[in-house]
Structure 1
Amino acid sequence: MSNNIPDTGETSLTSKRTGVDLAIRYGFLTLLAGLLIFFGIAAEGFVSPFSAVFIFQSVAITGILALGVTFTLVVDGFDLSIGSTATSALMLSAYVMVVLEMGAVIAVIACLTMGALVGLVNGLLIVKARVPDLLATLGMMFLLIGLQRIPTEGRSISTGMTMPGGEKANGTFAPEFLWLGRNRFDFFIDNLVPVSVIILLLVASIVWVFLEKTRHGRLMYAIGSNERAASLAGTNVNRYKIAAYMISGVLASVGGILLSARLGRGDLASGNNLLLDSVAAALIGFAVLGAAKPNAFGTIVGALFVGVLLQGLTMMNAPYYTQDFVKGIVLVVALVFTFVLTGRRTGSNH
């Protein structure tokens, strides 16, 4: 008779595990869907082509920077210089075209080279000089913040401005450069998808394939999981770490180029929130589909979440000083999904 009595304790435990697993896997996507519904109802005009374009543009720049952060997270590092690298690329592109009166190609090459060099220095400081990644990239952040202000004595760059030496800057932004930040493609609705979004999708696809489908990507994950074991297996850990920071620097420069092309001027203040937004997007990515690790798809969803959140708050006339507070709450929720629930699930398996 006892054999016919259901084991309610085991059934209850199984149900709890299933509920936790579902929360881990789909909780954040559900939160994103709820946010879209809420803003669609509460913020007039949120569901409109204009709002969508604005979100796409902000997501493109944030997402590309966040993908750079993702690379450093994969190798168990962190890059605090990502925002200042992007702003330096913005200022450098403006300086090359407006002050030096050179073309768009030279400006883009200069920015990408600068980003790679910043990443190389960060990587060498971390793997050769043994400086902790947070300190090395924090130092680089302050260095770049100062360096980008020196040529113009702290002023933004625009056509016709007077330089510190007294001469006027008569150059202009090349039309093909501005095309990167301002042109849009027609998809179902006229002029809805900016070029920058297409660039984001291309970069994200390449990053996803590299990290998930190639040997080099798997080795990077191995380094982040257990650096010593990866080294004993014959992996050149230092080379991969330096490469991760160089990729981060280059992607930051791409984001800076797109922002410069969108603004059409070298605006120092425009990159103030790039670091916080990109880091938030990369960390939120841990919670998407229960990945519990840095990944390209989760990072893009995280960037979309940040873009939707900021656009919704702006359209609801929320004070600007509350936006970082709300982003902090969202990030804490994402970390709960990632670490608390995942830790509970992992613990239950042992």
Structure 2
Amino acid sequence: MSVRDLAIRYGFILLMLGLVAFFGLAASGFLTLPSAIFILQSVAITGILALGVTCTLVVGGFDLSIGAVATSALMLSAYVMVVWEMSALAAVVLCLLMGAAVGMINGFLIVKMKVPDLLATLGMMFVLLGVQRIPTEGNSIATGMALPDGTNATGVFSPAFLALGRLRLWNVLPLSVVFLLVIAVLVWGFLELTRHGRLMYAIGSNAQAAALAGTNVERYKVAAYVISGVLASVGGILLAARLGRGDVASGNNLLLDSVAAALIGYAVLGASKPNAFGTAIGALFVGILLQGLTMLNAPYYTQDFVKGAVLVVALVFTFALTGQQIRRA
């Protein structure tokens, strides 16, 4: 195996290990169990959203609305429990249905109306960002807040709901991390081990050839966006459960971090394609980077720059060295 091939296959892993070694030496306490747990908890939501993006990338699409779907789920779950005073189960079910509905609409716009994926999901992002603020006139949702009709919200977050984002198994492992691991395994198994997953990869590689082979391309593309919407809703639910309030500004970085994790996945072990394992490693990489910079007291305004620079370097291993391209319909 040539040096070039080694760089393509193992370059990103070496980069991540080098980053861990650097932060371990430069930041006291980085290589500790509490730091590792914090990193895993911080990437759980990002990783779940990134797995949804991965599903759309597999069929040659792209979903820019995931961050808005997640924050909409956060606001909806808070509104259902605090304003409507409904149960945690109702909040979860309504959020999942909302995510699926958004995915269906995105798929319809892209497949039936022939709107380019980036434009359709970008438009949906702006729609959701506006809709989620209208019921509260742009305010966050919390018990006792003043409502537009002059009354006060008297509902509270259910303890069962809060446990989704705050419970630690054996007082160590956050439940949100378990959700990430389970979803990552399910998405990986679906994409890599099932006929449906292989057909989705075939669609992303050459949609016309897949259609000629008898694949219902439109149905699979819509399904990919539905999966993305549902997973984004799961991320929003976990974020609401962690915060215990409907914070309108809490999901500002979800889109960029999730997309970064999904794209980094292309570079993991030279995959050169969207894949669930690479996406999970990409989310972990983003978490390690941000945790290390935080522990080094790096100014917050430099973190996006460093994250973007490292993303570019990671993707060089895939696209510049292999000549691969992201295929989109």
| Alignment partners' CA distance in 1, 2:168 and 2:31 | 19
Are residues 1:115 and 2:95 paired? no
Query: What is the RMSD computed on CA atoms of the aligned residues?
Result: 0.9
Give the share of equivalent positions with the same residue, in percent: 75
Alignment of 1:157-172 (within 5 A): 157-172=141-156
Structure 2 counterpart of 1:274: 254
Q: 1:230 aligns with which of 210, 234, 237?
A: 210
| Alignment partners' CA distance in 1, 2:60 and 2:89 | 34
Are residues 1:300 and 2:280 paired? yes
Quick check: 1:82–1:249 contact (8 Å CA) kept in 2? Answer: yes
Structure 1 counterpart of 2:22: 38
Quick check: 1:80–1:137 contact (8 Å CA) kept in 2? Answer: yes
| Alignment partners' CA distance in 2, 1:160 and 1:34 | 49
Q: 1:25 aligns with which of 1, 6, 9?
A: 9
| Alignment partners' CA distance in 1, 2:225 and 2:254 | 17
Aligned length: 324
Structure 1 counterpart of 2:70: 86
Amino acid at match of 1:326: V
Quick check: 1:49–1:192 contact (8 Å CA) kept in 2? Answer: no
Q: 1:175 aligns with which of 145, 151, 159?
A: 159
Runs of 4 or more consecutive aligned structure 1 residues displaced over 4 Å after TM superposition: none
Structure 2 counterpart of 1:327: 307
Length-normalised TM-score, structure 2: 0.97
| Alignment partners' CA distance in 2, 1:192 and 1:236 | 45
| Alignment partners' CA distance in 2, 1:272 and 1:302 | 19
- Where 1:208 maps in the other structure, the secondary structure is helix
Quick check: 1:52–1:192 contact (8 Å CA) kept in 2? Answer: no
TM-aligned CA deviation for residue 53 of structure 1:
2.3
| Alignment partners' CA distance in 2, 1:171 and 1:195 | 25
Structure 2 counterpart of 1:3: none
Quick check: 1:119–1:245 contact (8 Å CA) kept in 2? Answer: yes
**Cα deviation code 1:288-327 (max 9, x no counterpart):** 0000000000000000000011111111111111111111
Quick check: 1:68–1:252 contact (8 Å CA) kept in 2? Answer: yes
Structure 1 counterpart of 2:269: 289
**Cα deviation code 1:230-268 (max 9, x no counterpart):** 000010000000000000000000000001100000011
Larger mean CA deviation between 40-49 and 116-125 belongs to 40-49
TM-aligned CA deviation for residue 225 of structure 1:
0.1
TM-aligned CA deviation for residue 334 of structure 1:
1.5
Structure 1 counterpart of 2:327: none
TM-aligned CA deviation for residue 128 of structure 1:
0.3
Amino acid at match of 1:240: Y
Amino acid at match of 2:45: I
Length-normalised TM-score, structure 1: 0.91
Q: Which structure would you say has the larger Rg?
A: 1
Q: 2:114 aligns with which of 118, 130, 134?
A: 130
TM-aligned CA deviation for residue 120 of structure 1:
0.3
Structure 1 unaligned regions, length at least 5: 1-16, 345-350
**Cα deviation code 1:11-62 (max 9, x no counterpart):** xxxxxx6111111111111111111111111112222233222211111101
Are residues 1:240 and 2:220 paired? yes
| Alignment partners' CA distance in 1, 2:30 and 2:74 | 29
Q: 1:205 aligns with which of 177, 185, 198?
A: 185
Are residues 1:220 and 2:200 paired? yes
Alignment of 1:251-266 (within 5 A): 251-266=231-246
